[in-house]
Structure 1
């Protein structure tokens, strides 16, 4: 994986709405020839410890 794009964890938000801006960005980055992974931390209920393990295991070139 070249690029990992994340949504932020917002403990005060109860809506799960896809981040269209992040999806557009992912499409542009893919169009430039990079492998992109999107993780929605709100939807998947990931905490920072799980995220840190994922980043360590997958070793993306860039996280944003």
Structure 2
């Protein structure tokens, strides 16, 4: 969970810098990519937890 929050925070910061600074629009796209990566990692962790449970 900490990794997810750090990745989301980094994505937000990169996005803000990419929008605010002239000529650094590529940081916005990097921020979007980091955010998507964070969502994929969170989804993988959640799906992995549900598969390990067995019904009794």
Higher relative contact order (CA 8 A, sep 6+): 1
Report TM bin, short chain: 0.3 to 0.5
State which structure, 1 or 2, has the greater radius of gyration over its C-alpha atoms.
2
Instruction: State TM-score, norm by structure 2.
Output: 0.37
| Structure with the bigger percentage of helix | 2
Instruction: State TM-score, norm by structure 1.
Output: 0.33
| Structure with the bigger percentage of strand | 1
